């Protein structure tokens, strides 16, 4: 079932034209930047998009322009976990890495203090209004979130076509607090409380 949802949503994202994807991503980025959790955050963990995902480049640049500490993940193939680095120069500190995703260059960045992360923008293929998240199947983010000793704001950016009812969940899956689409800001905890 998960694989069927992934295939359907990825095909839907890829059917969006590049101009539409850029326009929708810009709308979503503006909504994220207005979130109280983002405004208050000092240390922000972002992501470098790939494929037909929400285009994060503009948002990541905005994080730095807003004077916040930008953190980006890198897949550590030896440990099968995410390592997180502080990045201040997208041109000089990023390279094409695992799975075709742009990642920090370890020799040019320093490892981040995980305890200081205030805000995390999470990737995903599909999302439920209750905050359920269906990733690409590697479990990297769920394992990463389980390592944190505190609760940063967990936010996801998605096109409205990525909203799906009844996403299958495992006990180890972490739900997002807020889901931002081009049309709305979904307060997932409130949806869960009403369920």
Per residue in 119-164, pLDDT (tens digit) is: 999 999 999 999 999 988 788 898 999 999 999 999 999 999 999 9
Q: What is the third-level CATH fold of 2-194?
A: Rossmann fold (3.40.50)
Residue 30 marked in a binding site:
no
Residue 85 marked in a binding site:
no
How much is the pTM?
0.93
Residue 38 marked in a binding site:
no
Name the band, by pLDDT with cuts 50, 70 and 90, for residue 100.
confident
3-state secondary structure of 185: strand
Residue 116 marked in a binding site:
no
Q: How much is the pLDDT for 172?
A: 80
Residue 97 marked in a binding site:
no
Residue 5 marked in a binding site:
yes
Phi-psi region of 51 (alpha: psi -120 to 50; beta: other; left: phi over 0): left
Name the band, by pLDDT with cuts 50, 70 and 90, for residue 180.
very high
Residues 6+ apart with CB under 8 A from 41: 68, 118, 119, 153
Helices (H), the chain: 2-14, 18-34, 36-40, 57-65, 140-147, 188-194
Torsion 91-95-96-101 (CA) sign: negative
Residue 3 marked in a binding site:
yes
3-state secondary structure of 78: coil
Residue 58 marked in a binding site:
no
pLDDT tens string 10-65: 889 999 999 999 999 999 999 999 999 999 999 999 999 988 899 999 999 999 99
Q: CA 149 to CA 143: how far, in whole Å?
A: 13
Residues 6+ apart with CB under 8 A from 128: 163, 164, 165, 166, 167
CA distances from 82 to 27, 85, 105, 139 (A): 28, 10, 13, 10
Kindly report which listed range (2-6, 20-24, 100-104, 185-189) carries the lowest average pLDDT score. Answer: 2-6
Residue 48 marked in a binding site:
yes
The domain segmentation of the chain, as residue ranges, is 2-194
Residues 6+ apart with CB under 8 A from 75: 81, 82, 83, 97, 98, 99, 101, 103, 140
């Amino acid at each position: 079932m998960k694989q069927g949802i992934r295939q359907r949503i990825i095909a839907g994202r890829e059917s969006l034209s590049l101009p539409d994807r850029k326009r929708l991503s810009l709308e979503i980025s503006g909504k994220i930047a207005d979130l109280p959790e983002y405004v208050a955050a000092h240390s922000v963990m972002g992501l470098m998009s790939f494929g037909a995902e929400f285009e994060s480049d503009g948002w990541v640049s905005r994080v730095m322009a807003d004077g916040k500490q930008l953190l980006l993940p890198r897949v550590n193939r030896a440990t099968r976990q995410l390592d997180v680095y502080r990045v201040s120069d997208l041109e000089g500190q990023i390279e094409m890495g695992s799975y075709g995703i742009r990642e920090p260059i370890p020799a040019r960045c320093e490892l981040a203090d995980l305890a200081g992360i205030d805000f995390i923008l999470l990737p995903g293929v599909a999302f439920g209004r209750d905050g359920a998240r269906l990733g690409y199947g590697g479990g990297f983010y769920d394992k990463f979130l389980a390592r944190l000793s505190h609760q940063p704001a967990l936010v996801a950016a998605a096109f409205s076509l990525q909203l799906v009812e009844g996403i299958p969940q495992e006990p180890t899956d972490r739900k997002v607090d807020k889901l931002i689409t081009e049309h709305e800001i979904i307060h997932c905890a409130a949806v869960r409380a009403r369920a």
